[in-house]
């Protein structure tokens, strides 16, 4: 049975969703995030699940953690999974463009498809889709809203 925990954060409440065994993070959603599943799919609330994910997120907010290592289980098309894997390689405090990400997955002309996959990332923050910017460094596109994206980039820039 799927369960979820809610964690307060500087960008608002986060919903952390786990797999049936409560061993892997399958979703991390911001309030009002676009492209999130129907909340009925999150199962019952249980704030005791995913303690490592909650601890790591709190350390991230405190500027003490630059790389997450919680177990993840993401479900998507092979292309989406490749984009999400490439996102995890974008270093903390850095950004890349959608074109850079398209090249990293071996599809340099698939910039729009990369943007769509990025927007459907089911594990925001941990899989750092906020580190992707438009050409020339323009702040664009974030399923959680540009204000949150700016906050996350500023948080990482301070470390």
**pLDDT digit string (tens) for 111-157?**
999 999 999 999 999 999 999 999 888 888 888 889 999 999 999 99
**Residue 118: C-alpha distances to residues 8, 21, 83 (Å):** 24, 27, 7
Query: What CATH code would you report for 78-158?
Result: 1.10.10.10
Domain ranges of the chain: 3-61, 78-158
Helix axes 78-87, 111-119, angle to 10 degrees: 80
- The class level of CATH for 3-61 reads alpha beta
Residues noted as catalytic: 129
Reduced to 3 states (helix: H, G, I; strand: E, B; else coil), residue 100 is helix
Give me the mean pLDDT over the 75-87 stretch: 96
């Amino acid at each position: 049975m799927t369960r979820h925990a809610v964690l307060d954060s500087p960008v608002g409440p986060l919903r952390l969703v786990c797999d049936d065994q409560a061993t892997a993070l399958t979703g991390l959603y911001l309030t009002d995030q676009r492209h999130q599943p129907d909340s009925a799919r999150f199962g019952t609330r249980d704030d005791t699940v995913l303690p490592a994910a909650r601890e790591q997120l709190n350390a991230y907010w405190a500027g003490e953690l630059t790389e997450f290592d919680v177990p993840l289980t993401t479900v998507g098309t092979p292309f989406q999974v490749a984009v999400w894997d490439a996102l995890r390689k974008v270093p903390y405090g850095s950004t890349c463009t959608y074109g850079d990400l398209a090249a990293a997955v071996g599809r340099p002309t698939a910039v729009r498809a990369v943007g769509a996959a990025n927007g459907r990332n089911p594990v925001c923050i941990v899989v750092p889709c906020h580190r992707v910017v438009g050409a020339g460094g323009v702040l664009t596109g974030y399923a959680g809203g540009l204000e949150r994206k700016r906050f996350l980039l500023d948080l990482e820039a301070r470390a």
